[in-house]
Amino acid sequence: MADTPRPPRIAYCSPVNPAASGISDYSEELLPYLGQYAEITLFVEDGLKPSNPLLTQHLEVLPLRRLASELRRRPYDGIVYHMGNSPAHAGIWRAAQRMPGVVVLHEWVLHHFMLWYAANVQRDVQIYVRAMRERYGEAGDHMAQLMIRSRFSDAAFNFACCEPVIAAARGLIAHSQYVVERAAALRPELPAALVPMGVPLPPAIPRAAARSLLGLPDTAVVLASFGHINAWKRIEPALRALRSLRAAGHDARYILVGSVSPNYDLAGLIGRMGLNDAVTITGYVPRAQFEAYVAAADLCINLRYPTAGETSASLLRLLGAGRPTLVSAVGSFAELPAGVAAQVDVEAAESDLLLAYCNLLLERRDLAEALGAQARAYVAREHTLEAAALGYARFLARLYGWPVLRRLHERPLWELEAATPPEPTAPAPAPPPASPLVRATGQALAEMGLDASHTSLLQHVAERIGEIESHTPT
């Protein structure tokens, strides 16, 4: 009788909670499904203790420092490295350079990570400066000089700095044609796969129930944005649309669900526009409360420019919840099919188009409901965790020559935790205007690569600055 071939084994290198990266949530949702096709050893940053007990119950979890010895000790049939634009990926990038594998590139622009890595891991910021000069010429050198002097600019997004990651990869997985095409232009021979980003389909919460829970009036027009708030989320055009809606007689409110970047004077902007009574900033909220705010919104606004070429899990969650959503027509967001989201140009017409969409969808509730229904159907059809795991498994099997691709387990290794209904809570008041020290420190943190995925760390820094200022004589 022939021996049964051993199942394939994957070395999976990724942040997981409590690491401050949105990719932590992503991996924790994908892993139980990918584990249906292969045995997985999860490699995490040295010293990190996963907060999700299901990871250690169902997977072997090892520190990244042991990856090299593990690869020598027993055979692995694939190495997966998750790369994003935050310091949470430092150990992963260090390993990926020495032991090439499949890179899952979550965003095209890694500029801020590479600057942070040179300054904090390599301990020589001139490594970053030289790379910018060699890669991008005089323009790159000029931008590098600005960045190391804490003069951050939107133009930094034009210098992706992902070239060394593409060069070191044995294969590439991406979630958008935007990233796949740009990688192919750099390295045409690199095996690559476009794999859907999988998200759990959120519960369908009735709008009236969500508003009752959150204390929102049923008759108000509620606009909402979700996630970390900074200048690139295009809050100012949204506030102009809100002001126009209120001038036209609507009882319009705008709810911002998420933390606020320390270097973004959101409260000052709201005050200058005379909208203090119409805007609520909740700060970070648990997932169940997040989903309640999504369900309570008439329109969700998910704008961003410039873009790092990322695929947004938070956007997919909005679409999956069946909410009519407005997005910027850039990067991977422009790949959404017609009838799934309203796409807003980022040029001079941005504010006018945003207001026009708001008026249309508020006046034509049938169109808004159809847009939301089509969005939910799209996510349920195209962005399942089952399809994402199968896309990974097929690409790894082809690249590494697995003799057969089959399911080892009929069911995911564990069930994802269902959200529990949130308790009614009063939203947090808008924060006071940021002080010069907060703004300057936040700017420096942004330039070191701390971005929207570092909610808890940025909040902690802001709190510590507040403590310092409270003890500083005025």
| DSSP 8-state code for residue 329 | S
CA 245 – CA 250 distance, rounded (Å)? 6
CA 219 – CA 187 distance, rounded (Å)? 54
CA 179 – CA 23 distance, rounded (Å)? 17
Mean pLDDT of 53-62: 97
- pLDDT at position 437: 43
Does residue 421 register a pLDDT over 60?
no
- pLDDT at position 13: 98
Give the residue from 280, 284, 262 showing the smallest Cα distance to 270.
Answer: 280
- pLDDT at position 152: 75
Could you count the other beta carbons within 10 Å of the beta carbon of residue 287?
14
Q: What is the CA 196 to chain-centroid distance, rounded?
A: 15
* Banded pLDDT at 452 (limits 50, 70, 90): very low
Q: Between 382 and 21, where is the model more confident? A: 382
Q: What is the pTM of this model?
A: 0.83
CA 324 – CA 378 distance, rounded (Å)? 13
Mean pLDDT of 265-293: 92
- pLDDT at position 271: 96
Could you count the other beta carbons within 10 Å of the beta carbon of residue 444?
15
Return the SS3 of 319: helix
pLDDT in tens, 392-411: 999 999 999 999 999 999 99
- pLDDT at position 3: 62
Mean pLDDT of 224-250: 93
pLDDT in tens, 315-349: 999 999 999 999 999 888 889 998 999 999 988 78
- pLDDT at position 175: 96
- pLDDT at position 20: 74
Kindly state the tokens that stand for 342.
């309203």
Task: State residue 83 phi and psi, 5-degree precision.
Answer: -120, 130
Say whether the peptide bond before residue 18 is cis (omega within 30 degrees of 0).
yes
CA 325 – CA 316 distance, rounded (Å)? 10
Does residue 221 register a pLDDT over 50?
yes
* Banded pLDDT at 314 (limits 50, 70, 90): confident
- pLDDT at position 406: 95
Give the residue from 106, 117, 153, 96 showing the smallest Cα distance to 308.
Answer: 106
Q: Provide the percentage of residues in the chain whose pLDDT is more than 70.
A: 87
Return the SS3 of 91: helix
252 contacts: CB under 8 Å, gap ≥ 6: 220, 221, 222, 223, 242, 245, 246, 278
Please classify residue 1 by burial: count the beta carbons closer than 10 Å to its beta carbon, then call 0-12 exposed, 13-18 middle and 19+ buried: exposed
Q: Between 202 and 32, where is the model more confident? A: 32
Which of 206-215, 353-362, 410-419, 446-455 bottoms out in mean pLDDT, i.e. has the lowest? 446-455
Are the beta carbons of 142 and 165 closer than 8 angstroms?
no
* Banded pLDDT at 363 (limits 50, 70, 90): very high
Average predicted confidence (pLDDT) for the chain: 88
* Banded pLDDT at 459 (limits 50, 70, 90): very low
* Banded pLDDT at 178 (limits 50, 70, 90): very high
CA 142 – CA 151 distance, rounded (Å)? 11
Sequence length of the chain is 474
Amino acid at 281: I
348 contacts: CB under 8 Å, gap ≥ 6: none
* Banded pLDDT at 2 (limits 50, 70, 90): low
Does residue 190 register a pLDDT over 70?
yes
CA 256 – CA 279 distance, rounded (Å)? 8
- pLDDT at position 393: 98
